[in-house]
Each structure stands twice: as C-alpha cells, then as structure tokens.
Amino acid sequence: MSIYNYVTIGSMLLLSLLILVQTRGASLGAGLSSAGEVNTTRRGTDKTIFQLTIVTGLVFTGSLLLGIIIG
C-alpha cells in the first residue's frame, strides 16, 4: 500500500468522526429544517470542528484524486 492509501483511509475515518460529532439542534425536526432558529453563528468549539471538517474533506478529496492520477 502506498502513502496515498493510508492518507485516504485516515482522512476518511477522521471525516466520518467529525461529521458525527457536529450537532445542529436537539431533535429530528432540526435536521428537517423545521428548527426555530433561522440565523445561527458558529462559535468556539463548534466553529473549530466545522473548519477542521472542511480541511479534512479537502485532504480526503485531494488524496483520492492524487491516488487516481498517480495510481
């Protein structure tokens, strides 16, 4: 296995964990866009997790594309 495979697997696992950690409301209705809050701002840990999720998603996508191009 090449380094790209390890990076892809590691970033996939981290991305899955970060997505599961994020919360957006306390009920199922919040996920179905019936939450009472219209405008929310991310602060503190929530913002850090959100930004880390974006970076991890970019690393995952980049490692997949690089693996396809090189492999």
Within-domain flag for 30: no
Within-domain flag for 26: no
* Residues spanned by the domain of 48: 1-19+44-71
The pLDDT score that the predictor gives to residue 55 is: 95
The pLDDT score that the predictor gives to residue 43 is: 78
Burial grade of 15 (CB within 10 A; 0-12, 13-18, 19 or more) = buried
How many structural domains is the chain composed of? 1
Q: What is the pLDDT along the chain (71 residues), one digit of tens a residue?
A: 788 889 999 999 999 999 998 876 554 445 555 555 555 677 788 888 889 999 999 999 999 999 889 87
Count CA atoms closer than 13 A to 24's CA, side-chain side: 19
Within-domain flag for 4: yes
Within-domain flag for 25: no
